[in-house]
């Protein structure tokens, strides 16, 4: 690892994007997805291998005590303890000691936005107190509850039927249980759910007792319309936490801050800051309390959006790098043919994605997020009712305007902080959404829209001087929090499961409408990142991606052979006609064929249960014919029966096996090229567990399967001993290891204040090459093959060249010397591997 120097050493980088001087900064991270199958002792056992691999920091998923049986840790129930299921505080300290002894640091994933609503609820002590004591609970300020909307009680939508039917059926009973830390208590039980009883109600008749509690038990479908606590998107079991309150921040961060102060943890990754009331204020407080530790945020940056300059963070977790790297390896020439194929199968035209996004956002606004939209409309209506000059703006008019703004908003949120000037980026985003909304609203709604926009910008609207009022400030904040939920649920979790031109592009933080990116565009972004957020992360796979990088790469290659793929799909459709259900819609069919191609390797197809689990999740997320809340068993069965039959059909197997063989060299080049580019770009390079070798996996939980660490360690040991790579797994492992080791040994070229990024001249659009520099002098040079299938059609590299800077170089992937100071034939550099990594040798 490196330590950060003084801010004045960094040219052009906002001071808040830099850690404090002397604080440790990762050069690379290796993500470990902790859980029942990967505890602290298990992670400690991997340390020798990860040190050999070249990582400088272990990047741990959340470690605080989570809900019983948690597989991921994002459902925290106790901020004051480390999960005993993972090994407890002593296990974490032991892991840190083992890592530090091997030269590795720890980065910790923290979850400030929400806590779990567990079963039983007493696992969350703070929530249990609120359920028992209502607004008078010392923890009431922790949770973002609108007590007025719930008539003074907290809605608990856990019932499988309406309350009347549940009572009549005798499913609610009084029980007595041992509550940890509180002793024996009488509780209200509904199957596995138990709830505390309000003091003094224990002996009331059951129906009266139920009505007298500080919570209202309700049918689960009531949540979308009447829920009165803010949640994580539309997940009722994740209740939002008010960390904007200093006391709540202190209580929920004390343990993590202690771990940072003690040096157990070197840096932090902040989950979903866009859900917070004041992301900038939160990050400033975190910076102050950690002494300026390296902190990155899970921030989806849409299009050319940049991280706010005022945020006290090193950068994002790397989705902005992910989609740009991937789409640099997508052939723009494939867009038309793949669009035409999508139209033939699914009926969607190549220009229809914006309309699909718009439709999906409207559906989530009217459905799962209705309660949130209703709440901000009520706020706006109360504001207008209390101001004579605004009183004629009706609830319905305000609702129409807010809905159109939410649908039109093209990013996760603006960053308007009550009482503070609005930055230019937030103002432009709000104005752009307002222009779109105005075009979609009737003319008579325009005056109301103008008022709403002024209120959302925190400006004076209505009577003079009426700014800074509590309700007006709350509206500013809640609208922005709702924006993020609409984007996440409408775009990533709905529209991206409907759009099938090239499904690999439909990724978290992705830009499928762009389809492909030119190398010059990637270079321009990288040069900007090297100045704006030089210590942010780059990623290729995360625990949230819908596919691993290797599954996406296999699908990306369809763009290089679009006509061949279209012909193959027609053959697949013909072979599958006998068993393909008439209920199978075109979008799902197109998704299915691309998924099979993306997961069909030399070893054959993906396991049938993994394929069908993914497709079931995909069609429910798409919400076109079925959904999580209203599953259509007949339709789902048709999809899964067709998928199983296709996977097992010999004729289909022959076709897809031939395709895998036909694309093997293109997949190899893209796999190694994209990985090397990601690891060499400006920022802190992240490797998701196991992806140092090819991992074909789909959306979670498929991407959380155990990693064969010993096999990888054995492979790396064999390669280090001089054995040549046997297959793509060896090659990717070797490229990743050599890239990480180069970063570690030459950290100044990657995370130092004098580090730079410079594209190098080349004569072919199929080569992608750049240098990492120190003080303007090239220290590391990378060359990658781009669009290998198209290159093959052209007859190979021929006499194409790349410029290698002056000096003596060694390709650390092939251990060969390379002379610099002129043009070098690409064919000579890439005769063994489709990538090269040149490191300057000392004179």
Q: Per residue in 405-415, pLDDT tens?
A: 999 999 999 99
> Which architecture does CATH list for 121-240?
2-Layer Sandwich (3.30)
Percent of the chain with pLDDT over 70: 99
> Is the pLDDT score of 7 beyond 60?
no
Q: What is the pTM of this model?
A: 0.96
Higher-confidence residue of 715 and 231: namely 715
Per the DSSP assignment, residues forming a β-bridge with 769 are 783
- Among the listed residues 53, 16, 17, 21, the one whose alpha carbon sits nearest the alpha carbon of residue 693: 53
Greatest CA separation for the chain: 90
- And the tokens for 536? 């942010």
Q: What is the pLDDT of residues 775-824, one digit of tens each?
A: 999 999 999 999 999 999 999 999 999 999 999 999 999 999 999 999 99
CB burial class (10 A; 0-12, 13-18, 19+) of residue 566? middle
- Residue 233 has a pLDDT of 82
Cα atoms in the 13 Å half-sphere on the side-chain side of 445: 22
Q: Would you say the CATH fold of 121-240 matches that of 21-112+244-311?
A: no
Where in the chain are the domains? 21-112+244-311, 121-240, 357-492
| Band of residue 667 on the pLDDT scale cut at 50, 70, 90 | very high
| Band of residue 327 on the pLDDT scale cut at 50, 70, 90 | very high
Ramachandran assignment for 315, one of left (phi > 0), alpha (psi -120 to 50 degrees), beta (any other): left
Quick one: how far is CA 442 from the chain centroid? 37
CA distances, 454 to each of 308, 429, 443, 711 (Å): 22, 13, 18, 60
- Among the listed residues 386, 314, 441, the one whose alpha carbon sits nearest the alpha carbon of residue 24: 314
- And the tokens for 796? 């190979």
- And the tokens for 758? 């410079």
Q: What is the pLDDT of residues 553-590, one digit of tens each?
A: 999 999 999 999 999 999 999 999 999 999 999 999 99
- Residue 4 has a pLDDT of 61
**Cα torsion angle, 521, 525, 528, 530, sign:** negative
| Band of residue 10 on the pLDDT scale cut at 50, 70, 90 | confident
Q: Are 31 and 686 in contact (CB under 8 A)?
A: yes
| Band of residue 150 on the pLDDT scale cut at 50, 70, 90 | confident
CA distances, 432 to each of 409, 427, 459, 513, 610 (Å): 8, 9, 17, 19, 42
Q: What is the mean pLDDT of residues 180-193?
A: 92
Q: What is the mean pLDDT of residues 715-740?
A: 97
- Among the listed residues 750, 529, 551, the one whose alpha carbon sits nearest the alpha carbon of residue 54: 750
Distance CA 155, CA 666 (A): 54
Which residues does 617 contact at the CB level (< 8 Å), separation at least 6?
699
Distance CA 188, CA 202 (A): 9
Distance CA 94, CA 315 (A): 29
Higher-confidence residue of 536 and 4: namely 536
Which residues does 384 contact at the CB level (< 8 Å), separation at least 6?
390, 391, 393, 398, 451, 462
- Residue 575 has a pLDDT of 95
DSSP secondary structure of 189-211: EETTEEEEPPTT-TTS-HHHHHH
> Is the pLDDT score of 662 beyond 60?
yes
Distance CA 687, CA 32 (A): 9
Distance CA 243, CA 284 (A): 13
Distance CA 748, CA 324 (A): 24
What single-letter DSSP state applies at residue 221? G
Q: What is the pLDDT of residues 458-501, one digit of tens each?
A: 999 988 888 889 999 999 999 999 999 999 999 999 999 999 99
- Residue 465 has a pLDDT of 83
Q: What is the mean pLDDT of residues 604-616?
A: 97
Cα atoms in the 13 Å half-sphere on the side-chain side of 610: 18
- Residue 39 has a pLDDT of 97
Distance CA 680, CA 746 (A): 12
| Band of residue 1 on the pLDDT scale cut at 50, 70, 90 | low
- What order of strands is seen across the sheet that includes strand 315-316? 315-316, 294-297, 267-270, 105-110, 57-60, 28-32, 684-688, 537-538
Distance CA 63, CA 712 (A): 25
Distance CA 719, CA 731 (A): 9
- Among the listed residues 809, 794, 550, the one whose alpha carbon sits nearest the alpha carbon of residue 693: 550
Q: What is the pLDDT of residues 232-266, one digit of tens each?
A: 888 889 999 999 999 999 999 999 999 999 999 99
Q: Are 813 and 734 in contact (CB under 8 A)?
A: yes
CATH dotted code for 21-112+244-311 = 3.20.20.80
CA distances, 324 to each of 320, 517, 542, 769 (Å): 7, 7, 15, 15
> Is the pLDDT score of 207 beyond 80?
yes
Helix or strand (DSSP H, E) at 258? helix 246-261
Q: What is the pLDDT of residues 397-447, one digit of tens each?
A: 999 999 999 999 999 999 999 999 999 999 999 999 999 999 999 999 999
> Is the pLDDT score of 376 beyond 90?
yes
Distance CA 806, CA 840 (A): 9
Q: Where are the alpha helices (DSSP H) in 347-411?
A: 353-366, 370-385, 395-408
Distance CA 119, CA 115 (A): 13
| Band of residue 683 on the pLDDT scale cut at 50, 70, 90 | very high
Average pLDDT, the chain: 95
């Amino acid at each position: 690892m490196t330590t950060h120097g003084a801010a004045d050493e960094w040219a052009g980088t906002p001071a808040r994007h830099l850690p404090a001087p002397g604080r440790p900064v990762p050069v690379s991270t290796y993500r470990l997805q902790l859980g029942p199958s990967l505890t602290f002792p298990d992670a400690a056992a991997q340390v020798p291998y990860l040190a050999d691999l070249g990582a400088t920091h272990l990047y741990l998923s959340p470690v605080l005590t989570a809900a019983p049986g948690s597989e991921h840790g994002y459902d925290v129930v106790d901020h004051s303890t480390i999960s005993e299921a993972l090994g407890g505080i002593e296990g974490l300290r032991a892991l840190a000691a083992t890592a530090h002894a091997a030269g590795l640091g720890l980065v910790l994933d923290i979850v400030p936005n929400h806590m779990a609503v567990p079963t039983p609820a007493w696992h969350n002590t703070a929530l249990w107190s609120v359920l028992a004591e209502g607004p008078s609970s010392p923890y009431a300020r922790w949770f973002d509850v609108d007590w007025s909307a719930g008539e003074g009680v907290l809605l608990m939508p856990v019932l499988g039927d309406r309350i009347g039917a549940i009572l009549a059926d005798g499913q609610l009973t009084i029980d007595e249980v041992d509550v940890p830390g509180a002793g024996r208590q009488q509780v209200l039980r509904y199957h596995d759910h138990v709830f505390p009883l309000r003091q003094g109600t224990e002996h009331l008749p059951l129906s009266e007792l139920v009505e007298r509690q500080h919570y209202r038990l309700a049918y689960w479908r009531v949540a979308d319309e009447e829920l009165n606590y803010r949640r994580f998107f539309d997940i009722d079991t994740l209740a939002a936490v008010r960390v904007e309150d200093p006391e709540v921040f202190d209580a929920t961060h004390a343990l993590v801050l202690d771990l940072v102060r003690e040096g157990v943890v070197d840096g932090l990754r902040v989950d979903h800051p866009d859900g917070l009331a004041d992301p900038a204020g939160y990050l400033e407080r975190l910076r102050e309390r950690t002494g300026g530790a390296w902190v990155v945020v899970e921030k989806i940056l849409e299009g050319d959006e940049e991280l706010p300059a005022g945020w006290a963070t090193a950068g994002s977790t790397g989705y902005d790098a992910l989609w740009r790297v991937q789409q640099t390896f997508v052939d723009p020439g494939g867009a038309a043919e793949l669009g035409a194929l999508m139209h033939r199968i699914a009926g969607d035209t190549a220009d229809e994605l914006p309309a699909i996004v718009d439709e999906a956002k409207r559906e989530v606004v009217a459905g799962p997020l209705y309660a949130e939209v209703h709440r901000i409309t009520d706020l706006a209506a109360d504001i207008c009712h209390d101001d004579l000059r605004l009183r004629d703006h009706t609830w319905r008019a305000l609702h129409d305007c807010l809905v159109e703004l939410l649908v039109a908003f093209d990013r996760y949120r603006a960053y308007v902080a009550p009482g503070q000037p609005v930055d230019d980026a937030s103002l432009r985003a709000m104005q752009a959404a307002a222009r779109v909304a105005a075009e979609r609203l009737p003319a008579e709604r325009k005056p109301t829209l103008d008022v709403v926009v002024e209120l959302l910008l925190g400006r004076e609207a209505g009577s003079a001087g009426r700014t800074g009022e509590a309700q007006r400030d709350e509206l500013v904040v809640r609208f922005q929090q709702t924006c993020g939920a609409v984007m996440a649920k409408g775009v990533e979790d709905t529209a991206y499961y409907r759009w099938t031109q090239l499904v690999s592009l439909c990724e978290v933080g992705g830009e499928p409408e762009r389809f492909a990116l030119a190398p010059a565009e990637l270079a321009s972004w990288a040069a900007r990142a090297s100045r704006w957020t030089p210590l942010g992360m780059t990623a290729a796979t995360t625990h949230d991606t819908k596919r691993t990088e290797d599954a996406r790469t296999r699908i990306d290659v369809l763009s290089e052979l679009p006509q061949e793929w279209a012909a193959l799909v027609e053959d697949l459709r013909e072979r599958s006609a006998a068993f393909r259900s008439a209920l199978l819609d075109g979008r799902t069919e197109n998704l299915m064929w691309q998924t099979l191609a993306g997961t069909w390797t030399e070893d054959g197809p993906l396991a049938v249960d993994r394929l069908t689990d993914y497709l079931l999740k995909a069609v429910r997320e798409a919400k076109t014919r079925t959904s999580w809340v209203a599953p259509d068993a007949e339709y789902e069965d048709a999809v899964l029966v067709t998928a199983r039959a296709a996977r097992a059909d010999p004729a289909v197997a022959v076709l897809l096996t031939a395709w895998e063989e036909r694309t093997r060299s293109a997949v190899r080049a893209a796999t190694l090229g994209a990985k090397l580019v990601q690891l060499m770009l400006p920022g802190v390079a992240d490797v998701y567990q196991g992806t140092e070798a090819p991992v074909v996996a789909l959306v979670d939980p498929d991407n959380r399967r155990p990693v064969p660490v010993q096999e990888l360690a054995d492979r790396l040991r064999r390669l280090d001993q001089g054995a040549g790579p046997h297959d793509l797994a060896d090659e990717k492992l070797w490229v990743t290891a050599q890239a990480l080791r180069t970063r570690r040994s030459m950290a100044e070229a990657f995370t130092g204040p004098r580090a730079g990024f410079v594209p190098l001249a080349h004569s072919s659009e199929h080569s992608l090459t750049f240098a990492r520099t120190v003080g303007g002098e090239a220290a590391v040079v990378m060359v990658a093959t781009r669009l290998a299938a198209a290159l093959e059609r052209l007859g190979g590299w021929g006499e194409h060249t790349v410029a290698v800077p002056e000096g003596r170089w060694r390709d650390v992937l092939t251990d060969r010397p390379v002379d610099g100071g002129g043009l070098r034939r690409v064919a000579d550099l890439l005769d063994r591997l489709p990538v090269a990594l040149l490191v300057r040798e000392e004179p």
